[in-house]
Amino acid sequence: MDTKQLDKQYIMNTYGRYDVALAGGKGCTAFDENGKKYLDVSSGIGVNSLGYCDDGWVEAVTHQAKTLQHVSNYFFHEQPSKLAEKLCNLTAFRKVCFSNSGAEANECAIKVARKYSFDKYGAGRNEIITLRDSFHGRTVTTLSATGQDNFHTYFFPFTEGFKYAEANNFESVKALANNKTCAVLIECVQGEGGVNILDKDFVQAVRKLCDEKDIILIVDEVQTGIGRTGKLFCYENFDITPDLITCAKGLGGGLPIGLCMCNKKLENVMQPSTHGSTFAANPIVCAGANYVIDTISDKDFLNEVNKKGAYLRDKLEKLDGVKSVRGLGLMIGIELEKNNAHDIAVKCVENGLLIITAKNLLRMLPPLNISYSEIDEAVEILNTTIQEDK
Ligand SMILES: *Cc1c(COP(=O)(O)O)cnc(C)c1O
């Protein structure tokens, strides 16, 4: 049996896949098992932040694999220690807690917020406000946190204590914030929800409300973080500082890592035995993340992400058949006049462009080091595909 047949026979059917088996890649280019070439503007959902098999990243990861591949969290290791130091020095945060994915990073943030509240106010102050159209993960608790009704099916009972407010409607957040509320959890740009950029006024008003009521503001940076929106973290675009953030996707450059970071107020909330994960802070994964952070935290690199994002959005807006384009940095949603994003994505893949969707939009999350000529090529393939469909 070939790869696709094996997958269909032996892997649970949790994804509708494109009809392609990828086998290799370099930079923004991927190859399938037949050697066909694809330009990739999806980076494995914003994961391969430096593209496929970046030389420096490969060197960092293989060096660590040859030296020591895993230690339990009962021992110290320099890779997570240095990664945590870098992230704290680059931000206002004080401490890091490692995990292996975005959902787990959010689980950790939820635990930190609830324990802070429990320690200070006692039991019962445990509600968390999240937003409609948010996405926070696939565990039973992060499904609960996700403000989309279609995610709240089958797997009952879901974790209690989540309330959903309208994005960009401050009154709806205020109406839910009471003496049971311990946290507000938001994405500053909702990724899976359709690349919805929150209003700066709204985000700032939520920050102020949280300050007044000692409510923990958690920003989910799983998709928006690590340079994706032209800043190291997306909240910087909104001139606020959260109490807690989570990140994952682009952090490891293609290896599974997540983390949550907290400010001074929360730095001593977690104590031995309150949280843990066998694989978290894995040295190889952290070596990849250290390389990614060293590369993308550079001001010039982040400026280029902004410039390339503006260049790409501008080209997309001019395409015949494109209704609107939204995004920040290299996180981009494209609304089509025919509202047929999924069909166009499938045809783009046939035409050699790996692209994904978010709700009814096409979504681009290209490697952050994509070149201008690759951007031109991607727009050309998309344009050809849209025109062929007319
Ligand atoms: C992808 C995503 C998650 C879940 O991350 P996993 O690594 O798939 O668990 C959580 N929050 C946001 C905003 C995401 O985009």
Decide if pLDDT at 14 tops 90.
yes
- Residue 92 pLDDT greater than 90, yes or no: yes
- Is the C-beta atom of 103 inside 6 A of ligand 1? yes
Give me the residue spans of the domains in the chain. Answer: 3-53+299-388, 57-296
- How many angstroms separate the Cα of 171 from the Cα of each of 107, 117, 212? 27, 23, 15
What is the tens place of the pLDDT at every residue in 279-308?
A: 999 999 999 999 999 999 999 999 999 999
Q: Measured from the CB, is residue 191 less than 6 Å from ligand 1?
A: yes
Percent over 90 (pLDDT), the chain: 100
For residue 353 and ligand 1, the question of a CB distance below 6 A is answered with: no
Average pLDDT over residues 243-266: 98
Q: Which residues contact 141 (CB under 8 A, 6 or more apart)?
A: 107, 110, 158, 159
pLDDT at 331: 98
Quote the mean pLDDT of the chain. Answer: 98
Give per-residue pLDDT as tens, 315-341.
Answer: 999 999 999 999 999 999 999 999 999
pLDDT of residue 390: 84
**pLDDT score recorded for residue 149:** 97
Measured CA to CA, the distance from residue 321 to residue 384 in angstroms comes to: 11
The pLDDT value recorded for residue 244 is 98
State the fold for domain 57-296: Aspartate Aminotransferase; domain 2 (3.40.640)
pTM passes above 0.85: yes
Whether domain 3-53+299-388 has CATH 3.90.1150.10: yes
Tell me: pLDDT of 383 over 90. yes
Find the 106 Cα to ligand 1 centroid distance in Å: 9
pLDDT at 162: 98
Is the pLDDT at 34 greater than 90? The verdict is yes
Cα–Cα dist 308/302, whole Å: 10
C-beta of 107 in contact with ligand 1 (< 6 A):
no
Convert the pLDDT of each residue in 141-167 to its tens digit: 999 999 999 999 999 999 999 999 999
Contact criterion met (CB below 8 Å) for 49 and 292: yes
